[in-house]
Structure 1
Amino acid sequence: MTSAPLLYVCVRPQQGAAAAEYESFRLATHLDERDLAQHDLVREPLPDDAFERFGGFVIGGSPFNVADPESTKTPVQRRLESDLERIATAAAAATTAALFTCYGIGIVTRMLGGEVTRAFPEDTGPVTISLTAAGGRDRVLGGLATRFTALTAHKEGARSLPPGAELLATNEACPVQAYRVGDRLYATQFHPEPTTRAFTERMAVYRDDGYFDSGDFDAIAGRVLAASVTEPARLLRAFAREFGSAEG
């Protein structure tokens, strides 16, 4: 176990949603503000000393899309994608640990030479995730139920497992749900951090951003609130135990 704190990396332009996401990660990992620091990558580049100060990184979601044409991306998006690739490169080389979620899995997949495409979106709400045999043996995902419910909302996904990655979790609609590269780089397509209540609050922020028909908000929120999403948070807690500074 490392002695340095973890760093939550925010890639959401919407500051209210970003603050709530940090709190979701903090609660799910059972870490306090000392053991889970935060950095707003939308507004500030990754500090030069980040790899010396922090034992690992957790990267939140974003309304950005990796698969969008480069010509349509803002300078901020291009700069933060470059910084995220720095984190992924270091984790792939086992000089740090990192867990990329949702948008972040596209960053890692593209960096590894895989294809990120809009052919594998998932509707907003609960989905069923299945561990692979490798996932069942993994030190972070291995303690989870073989099949569990998680929350998704994304417009793109990996076409197939990128080179050098080991598939840990899958489902029918978007087969690449979680993978590991080496011993310290993890990526999930689903969101491991929010409670169902926090997810509906995030839905309200993005209700007009094309993830779902805004007129269906109440029905979708009802399905979310009725779901049991205990297992994804256990994944985050396991990651924090393995790579963070807090005991337990």
Structure 2
Amino acid sequence: MTARLLYVCARPQRTAAAAEWASFRDGLGVGDDDLIHHDLVRHPLPDDLDRFAAVVVGGSPFNVTDPDKTDAQRRLEGDLERLAATAIEGRTNALFTCFGIGVVTRLLGGEVTLMHPEGTGPTDITLTAAGRDDELFGVLSPRFEALTAHKEGTASVPPTATLLAENDACPVEAYRAGAGLWATQFHPEPTADAFVARMVVYRDAGYFDADAFDEVSAHVRTASVEQPTRLLRSFAARVVSA
């Protein structure tokens, strides 16, 4: 693959950030030099996005619904909104994940709420009819397993977006917006082992009972995440063929 991709990191924890970059690199099926790491927590979004074929946005311990945000978090969210608008307009391709879907939902006038959290571990996700027809999601099985861990979710698909995937706990697991933006609530990038390593970093962050780490991690390791990886490969293939 010769097209260079940009990984936008929204994680303050450097260990988790480096591991997430590696998970996206492996999931996309690209080399080290083909996925550029940009630390959005510490550096503003670059102005020269057009030198990248596409952008993937990782997760974060931040929440759109956080009541007391630092100036750094507000700046980061503003940069992600600017990136989302660029993709919606078709000036780049972008895949937003986890925290990122909340930023996009708010940008589109949707509601981000604490009413749809999901625990740490595998969950079953179902494609909608639009998802089965989507150029990225259409490669997936109509029902598949993915890893989740979040405290907030999108209440309903924003008016200008197309719902692609859902489940019982979280009504909006993925949607498409505009010409070049896809957003997922679930994590498409980590293997089960990589997810457990991430759990170590966020053990005391309130995503799961810290005293139940061994039990939760054992459940995570039962997950089959082949389908989410196919989504990343589909995203990379779209960039190469563009």
TM-score by length of 2: 0.97
Question: 1:123 matched to which residue of 2?
Answer: 119
> Could you say what secondary structure the match of 1:100 adopts?
strand
1:67 aligns with 65
Partner of 2:129: 133
Return the match for 2:162 from 147, 163, 166. 166
Q: Counterpart amino acid of 1:205?
A: V
Quote how far apart the aligned CAs of 1:3 are: 6.7
Is 1:89 aligned to 2:85, yes or no? yes
Q: 1:142-200: CA deviations, max 9, x gaps?
A: 01011110000000000110111000000000010000012310000000000000000
- Kept after mapping to 1: 8 A contact 2:97/2:187: yes
Structure 1 equivalent of residue 233 of structure 2: 237
Provide the identity percentage. Answer: 62
Trace 1:21-170 onto structure 2 (pairs within 5 A). 21-49=20-48, 51-69=49-67, 72-170=68-166
**SS in structure 2 at match of 1:34:** helix
CA distance in 1 between counterparts of 2:137 and 2:9 reads 23
Q: For residue 198 of structure 2, what is the aligned residue in structure 1?
A: 202
- RMSD of aligned residue pairs (Cα, Å): 1.4
Q: Are the counterparts in 1 of residues 29 and 233 from structure 2 also a CA contact under 8 Å?
A: yes
Alpha-carbon distance between aligned partners in 2 of 1:163 and 1:91, rounded to the nearest angstrom: 17
Q: Which runs of 5+ in 1 are unaligned?
A: none
Give the superposition deviation at 1:35.
1.9
Moved over 3 A (4+): none
Aligned residue for 2:185? Answer: 189
Determine the C-alpha separation between the residues in 1 that align with 2:63 and 2:241.
32
Q: Secondary structure at the match of 1:124?
A: strand
Do 1:56 and 1:244's aligned partners in 2 also have CA atoms closer than 8 Å? no
Task: State the Cα distance separating 1:245 from its structure 2 match.
Answer: 7.8
How many residues in Structure 1 have an aligned counterpart in Structure 2? Answer: 242
Q: TM-score, normalised by structure 1?
A: 0.95
Shift of 1:226: 1.4
